[in-house]
């Protein structure tokens, strides 16, 4: 199922596309409700290409099943624009027919709004929405203290309409567009909870989130919670590791992390590695790689906490630390979103994010559709189990 929170998807603004391609590790983002994607800025992509020691480009690979044809998408948009119709709508129809599960089309405003999430800021009502395979839109979670939470909305509420526009069957990005707007403006939500309809009028607000928070457990164990890989989050992870008590263990909590910027994920992984491979990925047959920076803390005992909400760039970090023998993964199987998207700017200025390949862990595992199986499965009491693991490694209470 596809999910989006009330914070913008982490991709660049359309005008930035003209400066170069952006690669997206499909992840869920957040906007008024938001969506998930992991992106590179142009400069980051260029730097990654230079530092990745990429092999010679392979011949253009045949388009895989479940991916959209870029030329067909662009052609449909151009023809629609020429006829005075919506290029975005025509492009989305082609993407939908292609079976590209993570492919989507944004108009300029949507794509620009998503970019706010790079800094962990957005304007909305503070709810995350999910679309089920039957097209139903439900509330996944709420921003603590946000308009939706204050109004008493619950996770699991079914969203029926926004300002009178029915949302069942819509793409989550379209739901996001309805929920977003100027701060202070009202938005009317019609919902269903346990069979009873209810209507709530909320006011949009400027919201923000702390992508990285740190707390201490007994025995000196440091818990580093990464909510998403927004700009600066990788350096904040590295700083938290440096400030952790000497010799004490660390829990890297990636539960519920929908992903984010690829470069930030690599920086976070670098906090625990001394160089070496983080992941490989392909873009239409061109094999590439991502490498950690040297100088990370390779001695400190480390556990990663994961669950079904651990996605994309967060799975990239988990897989790298697991395959490199650097961390023990504790929790439940991750989401399994390891596809790579790249944007194509369409004639009307809208942007099509189309799947072009997948990424693999250092051990060669493709996580798309399968996710990561933790080394130790734990449902309730995950932190307690993780503390036991760290205790077995000689740290903690």
Catalytic residues: 312, 323, 337
Three-state SS for 289?
A: strand
Q: Which helix (H) or strand (E) holds 356?
A: strand 351-360
Rg (CA), the chain: 21
Distance CA 280, CA 292 (A): 12
Instruction: Bin 177: left if φ > 0, else alpha if -120 < ψ < 50, else beta.
Output: alpha
- What is the helix, strand, coil percentage profile of the chain, to 5? 25, 30, 45
Distance CA 60, CA 150 (A): 52
Distance CA 32, CA 124 (A): 4
Distance CA 13, CA 316 (A): 24
Contact present, 2 and 130 (Cβ < 8 Å):
yes
Instruction: Indicate if the alpha-carbon torsion angle 107, 112, 115, 119 is positive or negative.
Output: negative
Could you tell me the end-to-end alpha-carbon distance of the chain, in angstroms, rounded to an integer? 40
Distance CA 340, CA 133 (A): 21
Q: Could you tell me the CA-to-CA distances from 217 to 66, 133, 213, 307 in Å, in that order? A: 45, 40, 13, 20
And the tokens for 238? 């590295």
Distance CA 35, CA 337 (A): 13
Contact present, 235 and 125 (Cβ < 8 Å):
no
């Amino acid at each position: 199922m596809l999910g989006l929170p009330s914070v913008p998807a982490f991709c660049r603004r359309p005008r930035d596309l003209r400066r170069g391609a952006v690669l997206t590790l499909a992840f869920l983002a957040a906007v008024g409700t938001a969506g998930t994607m992991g992106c590179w800025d142009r400069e980051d992509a260029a730097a990654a290409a230079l530092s990745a020691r990429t092999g010679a480009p392979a011949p253009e690979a045949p388009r895989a099943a479940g991916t959209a044809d870029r030329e067909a998408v662009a052609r449909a948009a151009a023809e629609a624009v020429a006829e005075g119709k919506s290029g975005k709508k025509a492009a989305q129809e082609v993407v939908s027919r292609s079976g590209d599960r993570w492919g989507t089309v944004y108009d300029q405003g949507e794509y620009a709004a998503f970019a706010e999430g790079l800094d962990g800021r957005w304007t909305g009502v503070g709810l995350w929405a999910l679309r089920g395979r039957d097209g139903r839109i439900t509330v996944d979670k709420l921003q603590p203290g946000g308009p939706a939470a204050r109004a008493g909305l619950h996770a699991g509420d079914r969203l029926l309409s926004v300002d009178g526009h029915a949302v069942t069957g819509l793409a989550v990005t379209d739901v996001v567009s309805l929920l977003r707007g100027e701060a202070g403006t009202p938005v009317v939500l019609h919902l269903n909870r346990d069979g009873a309809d209810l209507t709530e009028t909320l006011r949009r607000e400027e919201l923000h989130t702390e992508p990285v928070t740190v707390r201490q457990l007994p025995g000196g164990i440091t818990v580093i919670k990464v909510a998403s890989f927004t700009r600066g989050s990788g350096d904040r992870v590295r700083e938290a590791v440096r400030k952790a008590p000497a010799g004490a263990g660390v829990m890297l909590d990636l539960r519920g992390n929908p992903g984010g910027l690829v470069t930030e994920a690599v920086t976070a992984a670098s906090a625990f590695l001394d160089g070496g491979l983080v992941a490989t990925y392909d873009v239409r047959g061109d094999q590439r790689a991502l490498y950690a920076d040297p100088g990370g803390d390779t001695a400190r005992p480390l556990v990663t906490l994961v669950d079904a909400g651990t996605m994309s760039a967060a799975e990239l970090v988990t897989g790298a630390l697991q395959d490199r023998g650097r961390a023990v993964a504790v929790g439940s199987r991750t989401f399994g979103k390891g596809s790579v998207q790249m944007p194509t700017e369409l004639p009307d200025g809208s942007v099509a994010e189309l799947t072009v390949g997948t990424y693999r862990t250092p051990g060669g595992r493709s996580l798309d559709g399968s996710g990561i199986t933790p080394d130790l499965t734990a449902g309730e009491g995950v932190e307690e189990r993780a503390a036991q693991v760290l205790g077995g490694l000689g740290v903690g209470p």
